[in-house]
Amino acid sequence: MSEMDKIIEKCTGCRLCVKECDFLQQYCNNPKELAEGFKAGKHRTNPEIPYSCNICSLCEVRCPEGLNVGKMCFEVRHQLVQEGLAPLQQHQPLKDAQDWYVSDAFKLALPATVASETKRAFFPGCALSAYSPDLVLKTYDYLQQKLPGTGIVLGCCGAPAYLIGEQARFQEIIDGIEADIIKMGASEIIVACPYCCHALKQYLPHLNPRSLYTVLSEIGIPEVAETERHTFSVHDPCSSRFENEMQSSVRSLIEASGHNIEEIEHSKGSTHCCGLGGMAFAVSSDLSRSKARRTIDDARHDLVTYCASCRGNLAANGAHILHVLDLIFNDNEIERRFAPPADPSLAMDNQKHLKLRLLDRTRIEKPLETLPGKVDQESWRQLNNGVK
Ligand code: SF4
Ligand code: SF4
């Protein structure tokens, strides 16, 4: 049964979900009414409605019947794409960004060093690479030191395509990641971004995707310099809503970095979306802002999160917020707290330079334009002339 039919059949109109959600408040009295509207074809005349939901699953957590309006909106988006009525014009910048993230200017697959077979690949994701190439490189160095046989894959999990309903494009991107990882000989993926982790667990389970934060809490973090002890609140990304292990790993990393935590009301399973979820910001920037404000207003302390996109949107809406990797690998973490989100051109430069810096370590002295988008193990050895 589709989620739309389930909602029509089971929603009692209690509005427990509506109280927590700006999207529902704007577009309906209750989800049953919304579902009946979609059933009657309202999404074809008002396609911005299904595209304004953050697909964050908070409604499912709140609903006594376990109903998920996000799943229904996702089904409706998919239907609109199949009927040729979407993606919408407002989605063009997202489609352009998606193309960039998987272009040869950023995409890269580097096996581990010549001295060891590649056992696993670190997948930092597009958003963390845009936020801080330094954090990606320091994390990668540390993983290589503690877990020899770790390679790296730069790229994007395909979330923008997936969330706007372009399933075929998304599958093409996922197939590319799978091919790169198998080609380098890895059988495990260490994933930094919670959304990438969610997508890769669902679509590439045979490659054993694991959260970076769980791995770091297992192997331990490098000794951090003595620092003033702060109390932070944690913003859990909505993509980690059902990931209990990831949530507790992040908290153990914050404590291991020498800081305290004071939880906000909406954390872990009941977290609010930062406003970027479901790519809803493309059609509803006001809703995106009001979602961000819910988290910011909830917190009495500066925030720490583990999704670079959440960090960017909450910072853009005035939050003092760090990525958890800043606490572990960034010597200027306090300054970072006040850093605004990178503007799009700087984000692209960061991604490009990350690729260049990784290639530079292989001592390839060629300009970017002539470099291959991905380097398999054998050609990497040749290009590297056997030099570690
Ligand atoms: S919480 Fe569930 S039953 Fe209540 S209004 Fe929302 S979808 Fe309907
Ligand atoms: S998925 Fe999130 S944004 Fe969408 S209706 Fe549910 S709570 Fe609201």
Question: What's the gap in Å between 14 CA and the centre of ligand 1?
Answer: 5
Q: Whose CA is nearest to atom 8 of ligand 1?
A: 11
Question: What's the gap in Å between 102 CA and the centre of ligand 2?
Answer: 29
CA–CA dist 118, 159 (Å, integer): 26
CA–CA dist 150, 186 (Å, integer): 8
Residue-wise pLDDT tens digits, 5-54: 999 999 999 999 999 999 999 999 999 999 999 999 999 999 999 999 99
pLDDT tier at 277 (50, 70, 90 boundaries)?
Answer: very high
- Ligand 2 atom closest to the Cα of residue 68 is 6
Summarize the confidence of residues 271-283 as an average pLDDT. 96
Ligand 1 pocket, mutate which of 4, 5, 7, 12 (most atoms under 8 A from CB): 12
pLDDT for the residue 337: 67
Across-strand partners of 121? 151, 189
- Ligand 1 atom closest to the Cα of residue 31 is 7
Say if residue 120's pLDDT is above 90.
Answer: yes
pLDDT tier at 363 (50, 70, 90 boundaries)?
Answer: low
DSSP 190: E
DSSP code string of 33-49: HHHHHHHTTHHHH-TTT
pLDDT for the residue 378: 39
CA–CA dist 181, 176 (Å, integer): 9
Residue-wise pLDDT tens digits, 331-347: 776 666 667 666 777 88
CB 16 near ligand 1, within 6 Å: yes
Summarize the confidence of residues 82-101 as an average pLDDT. 95
pLDDT for the residue 338: 66
CA–CA dist 369, 355 (Å, integer): 12
- What is the edge-to-edge ordering of all strands in the sheet holding 120-123? 108-110, 150-154, 120-123, 189-191, 209-211
All residues at 6 or more sequence positions from 287 whose CB lies less than 8 Å from its CB, including other chains: 22, 23, 26, 52, 54, 275, 280, 281
Q: Say if residue 87 is preceded by a cis peptide, omega within 30 of 0.
A: yes
Question: What's the gap in Å between 282 CA and the centre of ligand 1?
Answer: 26
Say if residue 223's pLDDT is above 50.
Answer: yes
Mean pLDDT, the chain, whole residue set = 90
CB 13 near ligand 1, within 6 Å: yes
Q: Please name which of 126, 137, 306 lies closest in space to residue 214, comparing C-alpha atoms.
A: 306
CB 63 near ligand 1, within 6 Å: yes
What φ, ψ does residue 352 adopt, rounded to 5°?
-65, -45
Q: Please name which of 220, 233, 153, 149 lies closest in space to residue 192, comparing C-alpha atoms.
A: 153
Q: What percent of the chain has pLDDT over 70?
A: 90
Of the listed ranges 156-160, 249-253, 326-330, 372-376, the least confidently predicted one is 372-376
Ligand 2 pocket, mutate which of 49, 51, 73, 272 (most atoms under 8 A from CB): 73
CA–CA dist 276, 291 (Å, integer): 9
Q: What is the pTM of this model?
A: 0.91
Say if residue 142's pLDDT is above 70.
Answer: yes
Say if residue 368's pLDDT is above 50.
Answer: no
CA–CA dist 12, 68 (Å, integer): 13
Ligand 2 pocket, mutate which of 59, 242, 274, 286 (most atoms under 8 A from CB): 59
Q: Whose CA is nearest to atom 2 of ligand 1?
A: 63
Q: Quick one: which ligand is closest to 76's CA?
A: 2
pLDDT for the residue 330: 87
Burial of 25 (0-12, 13-18, 19+ CB in 10 A): middle
CB 11 near ligand 1, within 6 Å: yes
DSSP 240: G
Q: Please name which of 282, 307, 363, 345 lies closest in space to residue 105, comparing C-alpha atoms.
A: 345
DSSP code string of 84-129: T--S-GGGHHHHHHHHHHTSTTT-EEE-S-TTS---EEEE--HHHH
CB 36 near ligand 1, within 6 Å: no
CB 276 near ligand 1, within 6 Å: no
Pairing of strands 303-305, 321-323: parallel
Across-strand partners of 173? none
Say if residue 147's pLDDT is above 90.
Answer: yes
Q: How far apart are the first and last CA of the chain?
A: 55
Summarize the confidence of residues 130-135 as an average pLDDT. 94
CA–CA dist 81, 105 (Å, integer): 28
pLDDT for the residue 346: 86
pLDDT for the residue 369: 38
Say if residue 371's pLDDT is above 70.
Answer: no
pLDDT for the residue 344: 74
Residue-wise pLDDT tens digits, 52-71: 999 999 999 999 999 999 99
Ligand 1 pocket, mutate which of 6, 15, 72 (most atoms under 8 A from CB): 15
Residue 96 one-letter amino acid? D
pLDDT for the residue 372: 39
Q: Whose CA is nearest to atom 6 of ligand 2?
A: 59
Across-strand partners of 234? 304
Both tokens assigned to 62? 């709140």
